[in-house]
Structure 1
Amino acid sequence: MISHGAGGNGGQFGWLASRLVQAGFVVVLPNHSGSTSGPARAAEALRIWERPQDISAVLDSLQGFPMVDPARIGALGYSAGGYTFLTLAGARVDPARLTSFCDRGGRGISDCAFFAQAGLDLHAQDLSPAAQDLRDAHIRFVLAVDPGIVETLTRQSLAAIDLPLLVINLGEEAKVPAPVHARRVAETVPGASYLVVPDAIHFSFLAECKPKGAAILAEEGEPDQLCSDAGGRTWAAIHADLLVVILPWVSNRW
């Protein structure tokens, strides 16, 4: 299972899904309603507890498919997708921390600007459902890349996770945006591994842009660096390095 980031979509990970399929995996890339490219809506994206529920619903629907082994289901999440699978592994959100998440601005991530543009005040929302236990026993391991809102996750719940976990941060660690800086997660989850990929940025995990992509994004006023190479390395080079890590790690979980 692969879960995209807020405002993203499953199609952004074809570069990874295709290689996983070649390695013999069945790959499922659901889109999260209200949090996908184009029709993303701030009020729906804020209901973060619905993302794990999306995944659990998809997993339930896959039961009985001959190509799916219910005892061998792993998860890879990027950004908000990383949060999604951490909660499915047992992590729980502190609603008070979520309520104050944007009090200090986006700190390198555009989610808070998205909420502000929509006139959404987190302090005026009922975020108590975010605290619920959303663990899904189908999930057997988690790989989280720049997982979102990690500051809201409780230490107690992270310490109780008993699944294999690999956490990857993109870029020099000192420059990783605080909302996705996940060393604390890896150090708190027993047996978890942590990796930093240099010369990358948060968006380096997405598919490469087409030749006119940067110009189109500039014309549309897109604030995020969705087509920017980082540190002089192309996204293709970064993807190649990531595959060297991801493919063996996933394959060795069984």
Structure 2
Amino acid sequence: MTRVAIVGVGLIGSSLALALRERRAATELWGMDLAGVEGAAGAFDRRVDRAELARADVVVLSTPVSVIVRELPHALSAPVVTDTGSTKRVIAAEGAAHFVPGHPMAGDPQGGAQRARADLFEGRRWILCPEGRDPAAVAQVEALVRAVGAEVVHLGAEEHDRAVAVTSHLPQLLASLLKGMSLQRGTDAAAGPAFEGATRVAGGPEAMWRDVFVTNADAIAAAGRDLASQLDGALAALEKSPPDVEPALALLARVRRVVR
């Protein structure tokens, strides 16, 4: 792999450049800035514009989803193109065979190039949606992913969006709701490790999350309704007189058997 152009030089884009540089997995690293972001120090060899993307061997679109959709047609002049967007259905609708949709399951709650680091993807899953794509392009993107220490996972775009609604998007809402409730009630003084862990991702960059909520609204809502139904059942049991704690205890036991 030689020339890699990364469109979007924030947390993910800069971290990818730093990781490729540290592992000597690219001879040239180009950055394309879309939002006045400088990028992490030492991440990129030089800045490029749209006209130069065709000269890259691989282009990685690392921006909010709506910007990926907008910029993708310009990037398709390159031999191989991938992205790091948080939802996949709207992006995978672009059927160019040399475009391999992707999503690294890594990040930082606050985001920003200043938090970029070369080990961000080490040991993390990186989802690719290879269905209908050119096998040679898929292999090249897989090589890039493995070069930065990530594990390749293949999912369809629909399957991806349903899965991350549960593992990423709904937890973002729940963490923010829980943190907001604590702030409103003034209970943060009593917070311990459990609360800190549950609310670690609370907040987050609005520009990114706007696109996530818009493009995966149905899957997030379905997962949330399912969770709310289960929570309602447990709460209804606790509201009985005397409280019926068995449903809550059964849940703890069932999950403990799986995760420990």
Structure richer in helix, relative to its length? 2
What is the TM-score of this pair, normalised by structure 1? 0.32
Q: Which structure's CA Rg is the greater one?
A: 2
